[in-house]
Amino acid sequence: MDESRSRTPHPRLVVVGSGMAATRLVEELVARGAHERMAITVLGEEDTAPYNRILLSAVLEGTHRPEALTLRTVRWYAAHGVDLRLGARVLGVDRERKDVMLVDGTLVEYDVLVLATGSIPTLPPIRGLVRREGSLHDAVHAFRSAADCRRLLAALPSSRRAVVVGGGLLGLQVARALGVRGVATEVVEGADHLLHRQIDAPAARILTRELKRLGVAVYAGARAVRLVDGPSGPAMRLDNGFTLDTDLVVLTAGGRPSTALARGAGLEVRRGIVVDDRLASVTDPSVHALGDCAEHDGRTTGHVSPAWDQAGVLAGILCAENATYDGSRVVARLRASDLHVAVLGEPAVEVAAGGEVVEIANPVAGSHRSLVVRDGRIVAATLVGDLSRVGLITQHFDRRTVLGPHEPGGLLLPERAGRAAGALLPDDAEVCACAGVTAGRIRACASLEQARETTRATTGCGGCAGTVRRLLARDEAGHPALATIQKGT
Ligand SMILES: Cc1cc2nc3c(=O)[nH]c(=O)nc-3n(C[C@H](O)[C@H](O)[C@H](O)COP(=O)(O)OP(=O)(O)OC[C@H]3O[C@@H](n4cnc5c(N)ncnc54)[C@H](O)[C@@H]3O)c2cc1C
């Protein structure tokens, strides 16, 4: 089935993928009026309207309804003349003919192609996960898409026990969500402690204890090696001799950039699709890539804030602005009730690069906070158990503020003891790291809805929602209330 090859009056932009990066790109293009100057087509494999993937664990936990995750409705795309096609998996790209082929054989021509294909979950080497005929064992679930989330939710009523394979941020969110749903959950992590890429062993011990208090058991330093079907149902064997009886296995052992299309098209791919500072493939300037699938300056990211930064830059480039991308700083938050973790930058990398560690731990109170400081600047941080200072620390991290020798230690003190205790957040303090929104911009909004719509604050990881609400709170006379950043917001 060939679509018409006749040229439209407008240049044709085809975006493959309808995830978080693609959605932000289209929003940025629409904000620049580009939808009136180009024919934009978005081809998304999933059948759900573009949604906030990072809140899927909140749906699993039951704090958000699935509909609340929708980023933009199908109607919004139609209203802006953007041709959104859902359930449209792209099978191949022909760079000579400049078209892409959908799974049903349809060809879609482009002048400029954007690959925003995200990442795919890693299948850990566990025997028995995949049946002989190639399908996953019925008890095994991935957790990447709305469809995965629906399938897992459907399995909950008949499940009492779960094993989560992978003790990273996603694994802990899923484990906590299952625990909240009343499923006895055990986390298996092959490295010697949880969140081993982000936090050190003492901080992980505190986190492990918190999880145990919340009813989630952790097996760290143990690998899941075999899923067997026993007389009482499935059981996961670990390499330390333990066998965990279970009804569900959730795989959260990481992912890798989805690059098959780019490889097939002959584009340069290392870990991700290699792009330059204009987010163009180094092989073909008419093909761009952004988000989890892209590799810029030797790095792939796997977080939403770089994907959104890239979307803003790429929209500018496609609108002939003089924009370039020079990397992003990442702030990752654990999203789960009663578990407070924030990681800024890459602590291990910065320590290896000569950063000095300033830290305060209080295992009795369940908190561990550390900053990595280089040349007076905070270059990374990990906060476990107490996020009362995350706002100020993030502000200094983002702005690369040069601090005096005693200031990093002061920032780690609990808020009531710190110098800024009770201080009003200044207008230029960044409140939403995902969307780069300051307190002043939130204060200028009349309602949460307006703040969401005009600034996009709270629509990423949602970690800023409490602070945003307080910033918008009005006293009885209608004056803005004071807002400080509080624990766990
Ligand atoms: C459960 C979960 C929780 C997360 N939590 C956080 C968090 O708290 N903070 C954070 O920063 N990041 C988090 N992430 C990571 C974050 O979601 C990603 O970094 C972000 O979604 C990247 O956006 P993207 O558009 O590159 O990829 P995606 O959002 O994954 O979108 C890619 C889209 O492309 C589609 N696609 C792929 N191949 C094709 C094809 N051939 N044809 C058509 N469509 C195709 C896919 O189906 C998908 O819809 C989380 C991820 C998951 C899965």
377-391 pLDDT, tens digit per residue, is 999 999 999 888 888
Residue 165 beta carbon below 6 angstroms from any ligand 1 atom:
no
Ligand 1: residue whose CA is nearest its atom 51: 54
- Mean pLDDT along residues 188-205: 94
Ligand 1: residue whose CA is nearest its atom 11: 303
CA distances from 143 to 87, 174, 352 (A): 19, 8, 32
Burial zone of 63 (CB within 10 Å; 0-12 exposed, 13-18 middle, 19+ buried): middle
- Residues with Cβ within 8 Å of 241's Cβ and at least 6 positions away in sequence, in order, are none
Which residue(s) pair with 257 in the sheet? 119
Stretch among 28-42, 275-289, 421-435 having the lowest mean pLDDT: 421-435
109 C-alpha to ligand 1 centroid (Å): 25
The two three-digit tokens of residue 90, written as one number: 């792209």
309: enclosing H helix or E strand: helix 304-318
Stretch among 68-82, 314-328, 411-425 having the lowest mean pLDDT: 411-425
Residue 76, Cβ neighbours under 10 Å: how many? 18
122 C-alpha to ligand 1 centroid (Å): 14
Amino acid, res. 240: N
Query: What per-residue confidence (pLDDT) applies to 488?
Result: 39
Grade residue 467 by pLDDT with cuts at 50, 70 and 90.
confident
- Mean pLDDT along residues 390-412: 90
309 C-alpha to ligand 1 centroid (Å): 15
Grade residue 474 by pLDDT with cuts at 50, 70 and 90.
low
Ligand 1: residue whose CA is nearest its atom 20: 304
DSSP reduced 3-state for 99: strand
CB 238 within 8 A of CB 244: yes
Query: What per-residue confidence (pLDDT) applies to 304?
Result: 92
Residue 89 beta carbon below 6 angstroms from any ligand 1 atom:
yes
Grade residue 369 by pLDDT with cuts at 50, 70 and 90.
very high
Grade residue 416 by pLDDT with cuts at 50, 70 and 90.
low
Ligand 1: residue whose CA is nearest its atom 48: 19
Query: What per-residue confidence (pLDDT) applies to 486?
Result: 42
Report the distance separating Cα 183 and Cα 216, nearest Å.
9
Query: What per-residue confidence (pLDDT) applies to 487?
Result: 39
Residue 291 beta carbon below 6 angstroms from any ligand 1 atom:
yes
Report the distance separating Cα 325 and Cα 308, nearest Å.
11
Query: What per-residue confidence (pLDDT) applies to 1?
Result: 46
Query: What per-residue confidence (pLDDT) applies to 104?
Result: 95
Query: What per-residue confidence (pLDDT) applies to 333?
Result: 87
CB 26 within 8 A of CB 15: yes
Q: What angle do CA 25, 30, 31 make, to 5 degrees?
A: 95
Query: What per-residue confidence (pLDDT) applies to 476?
Result: 53
Helix segments in 164-279, DSSP class H = 169-180, 201-213, 260-264
Report the distance separating Cα 264 and Cα 175, nearest Å.
37
Phi and psi, residue 287, nearest 5°: -120, 125
- Ligand 1 test: best mutation among 14, 47, 53, most atoms within 8 Å of CB? 53
Average pLDDT, the chain: 90
Grade residue 477 by pLDDT with cuts at 50, 70 and 90.
low
Ligand 1: residue whose CA is nearest its atom 30: 118
Residue 16 beta carbon below 6 angstroms from any ligand 1 atom:
yes
The two three-digit tokens of residue 396, written as one number: 């200094």
Report the range out of 13-27, 49-63, 442-456, 463-477 with the highest average pLDDT: 13-27
The per-residue b/e assignment along 245-263, b for 16 or more CB within 10 angstroms, e otherwise, is ebbbbbbbbebebbbebbe
Query: What per-residue confidence (pLDDT) applies to 276?
Result: 98
Ligand 1: residue whose CA is nearest its atom 45: 17
Stretch among 123-132, 386-395, 416-425 having the lowest mean pLDDT: 416-425
310 C-alpha to ligand 1 centroid (Å): 14
- Pairing mode, strands 294-296 and 273-275: parallel
Per DSSP, the chain holds a count of helices (H) and strands (E) of: 14, 27
Query: What per-residue confidence (pLDDT) applies to 374?
Result: 96
Residue 22 beta carbon below 6 angstroms from any ligand 1 atom:
yes
In the chain, % of residues over pLDDT 70: 92
The two three-digit tokens of residue 325, written as one number: 């991308």
Ligand 1: residue whose CA is nearest its atom 38: 117
Q: Which atom of ligand 1 is nearest to the CA of 102?
A: 42
- Mean pLDDT along residues 353-374: 94
Ligand 1: residue whose CA is nearest its atom 19: 303
Ligand 1: residue whose CA is nearest its atom 35: 17
> What is the dihedral angle through the alpha carbons of 28, 31, 32, 37, rounded to the nearest 10 degrees?
100
Residue 142 beta carbon below 6 angstroms from any ligand 1 atom:
no
**Residue 89, CA atoms < 13 Å, CB-side half-sphere:** 6
118 C-alpha to ligand 1 centroid (Å): 5
- Residues with Cβ within 8 Å of 207's Cβ and at least 6 positions away in sequence, in order, are 172, 194, 195, 199, 339, 341, 384, 385
DSSP reduced 3-state for 372: strand
Residue 331 beta carbon below 6 angstroms from any ligand 1 atom:
no
- Ligand 1 test: best mutation among 93, 106, 117, most atoms within 8 Å of CB? 117
- Ligand 1 test: best mutation among 27, 54, 340, most atoms within 8 Å of CB? 54
Residue 252 beta carbon below 6 angstroms from any ligand 1 atom:
no
- Residues with Cβ within 8 Å of 175's Cβ and at least 6 positions away in sequence, in order, are 162, 164, 185, 187, 211, 216
Query: What per-residue confidence (pLDDT) applies to 32?
Result: 97
Ligand 1: residue whose CA is nearest its atom 49: 19
CB 469 within 8 A of CB 448: yes
Grade residue 478 by pLDDT with cuts at 50, 70 and 90.
low
Query: Has residue 371 got a pLDDT over 60?
Result: yes
Classify residue 112 as left (phi > 0), alpha (psi -120 to 50) or beta.
beta
Which residue(s) pair with 218 in the sheet? 187
Phi and psi, residue 316, nearest 5°: -60, -45
Query: What per-residue confidence (pLDDT) applies to 327?
Result: 93
- Residues with Cβ within 8 Å of 130's Cβ and at least 6 positions away in sequence, in order, are 123, 136, 137
Query: What per-residue confidence (pLDDT) applies to 250?
Result: 98
Grade residue 278 by pLDDT with cuts at 50, 70 and 90.
very high
16 C-alpha to ligand 1 centroid (Å): 12
Residue 46 beta carbon below 6 angstroms from any ligand 1 atom:
yes
475 C-alpha to ligand 1 centroid (Å): 40
Query: What per-residue confidence (pLDDT) applies to 475?
Result: 53
- Pairing mode, strands 39-43 and 99-102: unpaired
In the chain, % of residues over pLDDT 90: 72
414 C-alpha to ligand 1 centroid (Å): 35
Report the distance separating Cα 386 and Cα 142, nearest Å.
30
- Mean pLDDT along residues 232-240: 94
The two three-digit tokens of residue 105, written as one number: 């054989």
Grade residue 419 by pLDDT with cuts at 50, 70 and 90.
very low
Query: What per-residue confidence (pLDDT) applies to 232?
Result: 84
- Mean pLDDT along residues 137-143: 96
397: enclosing H helix or E strand: helix 390-399
Residue 54 beta carbon below 6 angstroms from any ligand 1 atom:
yes
Q: Which atom of ligand 1 is nearest to the CA of 50?
A: 49
The residue that leads in pLDDT, 131 or 429, is 131
Query: What per-residue confidence (pLDDT) applies to 437?
Result: 79
